[in-house]
Structure 1
Amino acid sequence: MTVQKSRLDFPWKAPPAAGEVTEVTKGLLWARLPLPFRLDHVNVWFLEEDDGWTVIDTGCATPEILTVWERLLAGPMRSKPVRRVVATHGHVDHIGLTGWLVQRFNADFIGTFAEWVWARLSHMHDVPGSSATHHSYLVRHGFDDEDAGRLVQSRRRFIDLSSQIPGWITEIRSGDAVRLGGREWRVIVTRGHAFEHASFFNEESGILIAGDHILPRISPVIAVYEMMPKADPLGDYLDSFPQFDGIPADTLILPSHGLPYRGIHQRIAELRDHHRLRLDATASFLSNPSTALELSREMFPHIEGPDNIGFALGETLAHVNYLVARNIVEERLDDQGRTIFALRR
């Protein structure tokens, strides 16, 4: 979801090439991995330890990404072992190769409990009832049976983009202090884009490893999913921002997508404004009652393909549910069993 051009400071004008790294500061390296999605890359971070490396995020399991990883391990990482694998959250582009790295190096796996559970469930082929639940959710929000079936099958391909998620985890919680790469990092856990997204702040070096939570050019996907259809992730996301009030304005933000930047409070203000405008647009469109699918096509008129319309539906419902929770929008079932949303009069 694109937002307006900002006035942020970008210390680097370009990312490192595939298989190469940029030194952010002593002992902290930045690499970029290609992704097979519309969002075509993810940034990962390497912190040098006395006995190897800590890796923050991993990319997903594609031949191209595995090739880049082998180049990184043999080149900039100097064939030193990976001792810890840290997941900012459980989406496949961040956690997909965690199992591969953990198994290869007998590494520790660090992350939040909810994101570990999310990843375990969302990358299993045989979760009982999951496909039927997803199908009925799509039909309820405006898809016909045939299109809903195609979308259910399309999303299942994401399952194969992950290595096996480790069966155990070293849990971190908000406020914890973790020592990585010879520095102490404060864990900041937020909701909205994910259930327990972890960012890491080191005050001494003035660096925040922000994951997907505060991206420089786009808003992260804030979406409703079928397992929690009444959730209010946008409310959670907007409510998370005060957790960053104490972060100094000149802190270097290391995002998972886009380029590192300075200007966190400016960026948060932009994200708040962006979602306020989207909420206003949602309410305006709902002066004419509609299903979430009809509304998503109004809100995202250029979206094509089953995966993208699925993401658009989830983001649309995040804005609708926010308005429903605040009694601005009401919902009802029509005679076909579809949910209809309308602005309250």
Structure 2
Amino acid sequence: MTDRIRSMVSRTSKLEFPWNAPPGKGEVTEISPGLLWARLPLPFRLDHVNVWLLEDDDGWTVIDTGCATPELFDVWETLLAGPMRGLPVRRVVATHGHVDHIGLSGWLVERFEADFVGTFAEWIWARLTHMHDVPNSSATHHSYLIRHGFDESVADGMIKSRNRFIDLSGPIPGAITEIRDGHTIRFGRRDWRVLVTRGHAFEHASFYDSVSDILISGDHLLPRISPVIAVYEMTPTADPLADYLASFPQFADIPARTLVLPSHGMPYRGIHERIEELRDHHRKRLDATANSLSVPRTALDLSRTMFPHIEGPDNIGFALGETLAHINYLVNSGVVQEGRDANGRAIFTARS
């Protein structure tokens, strides 16, 4: 994932980090009684995902799972036999449908005949995007890449790279217990309020325990980086950045002392300071995007300016998507206009 291009926490950040180091591979850190933190390795530049293990009366609830690699299967076996004491997994919860969060959900559900819990949109999104041969998906992706500035050979290579990415997911569960914004769900002997937000995903779920003041935030509020806010080929005119910025008031009533458990990075306190940092980051990115469009440019050309150190097809794809998220926000705000060049590619220009 494109972690280094989204780093924006200043040296004067007011966030508080109660732990100095994450748990080791196959080990856990106790966050609170019955709530354990494990960290799984990922085969990306963003090289880990945090998962949360909550003990119930008859077994465990697992929140997020990592993706399907031999190393992750081994780590899960260590966790199941060790800190989880051989007790069964009764519930698998997905914060959202990205492969590092949902990729092994089907394996755990099938192994333990567990219940799968998540939002409907993320379940459907994962079932469509984490499988090969979805009708018209490759053709649509190819057209999207060409439209935004890639040549044929590079676009073909990115399609093939995405197919390799798909292989990092095991089967997605065939049935779901759906949760929605405002629901209360009980797991780990605690009641959790569900907060469903858009921006990073279509229906990202976070979970807030008001008794212990703990928020499992998934990817929505990360401490050191901004989550990917990107436009994808399936919804090319979407405005995920507007959705993301509009989500912040949903957390306004959460106390400042709340411990935030993110999917990447370290647990922290300072949720409202972090939200302000994220707002400020995207304001600056919007200003930089508009300034860089004083002359007509494709989204690919602009992404190379906005993210000059990006390499590799996966990261280039994320950079394009993030660039388009800021462009689409500015188009909808009337700051930028879209046109076409002689080759039919989309060209964006700031309005004078």
Shared fold per TM-score greater than 0.5: yes
2:153 is matched with which residue: 146, 149, 164? 146
TM-score where L is the length of structure 1: 1.00
Structure 2 residue aligned with 1:2: 7
Query: Structure 2 matches for 1:107-146, cutoff 5 A?
Result: 107-146=114-153
Structure 1 residue aligned with 2:171: 164
Structure 1 residue aligned with 2:31: 24
Structure 2 residue aligned with 1:62: 69
Q: How far did residue 212 of structure 1 move?
A: 0.1
Deviations 1:25-76 (A, max 9, x none): 0000000000000100000000000110000000000000110000000000
How many residue pairs match? The answer is: 345
1:222 is matched with which residue: 229, 232, 235? 229
Q: Secondary structure at the match of 2:167?
A: helix
* Structure 2: distance between partners of 1:162 and 1:145: 27
* Structure 2: distance between partners of 1:17 and 1:112: 30
Structure 2 residue aligned with 1:101: 108
Q: Secondary structure at the match of 2:338?
A: strand
* Structure 1: distance between partners of 2:186 and 2:173: 22
Alignment of 1:305 onto 2:290: no
1:179 is matched with which residue: 180, 186, 189? 186
Alignment of 1:210 onto 2:217: yes
* Structure 2: distance between partners of 1:221 and 1:199: 16
Question: Which contiguous aligned blocks of 4+ residues in structure 1 show a shift greater than 3 angstroms?
Answer: none
* Structure 2: distance between partners of 1:23 and 1:7: 24
Q: How far did residue 80 of structure 1 move?
A: 0.1
Give unpaired runs (5+ residues) of structure 2.
Answer: 1-5
Aligned AA for 1:321? N
Structure 1 residue aligned with 2:199: 192
* Structure 1: distance between partners of 2:177 and 2:127: 15
Aligned AA for 1:195? F
* Structure 1: distance between partners of 2:164 and 2:240: 25
Q: Secondary structure at the match of 1:215?
A: coil
Deviations 1:260-300 (A, max 9, x none): 00000000000000000000000000001100000000000
Q: Secondary structure at the match of 1:143?
A: coil
Q: Secondary structure at the match of 1:220?
A: coil
Deviations 1:158-216 (A, max 9, x none): 11111100111000000000001111000000000000000000000010000000000
Q: How far did residue 4 of structure 1 move?
A: 2.8
Q: How far did residue 335 of structure 1 move?
A: 1.1
Structure 1 residue aligned with 2:49: 42
CA RMSD between the two structures? 0.5
TM-score where L is the length of structure 2: 0.98
Q: How far did residue 19 of structure 1 move?
A: 0.2
Give unpaired runs (5+ residues) of structure 1.
Answer: none
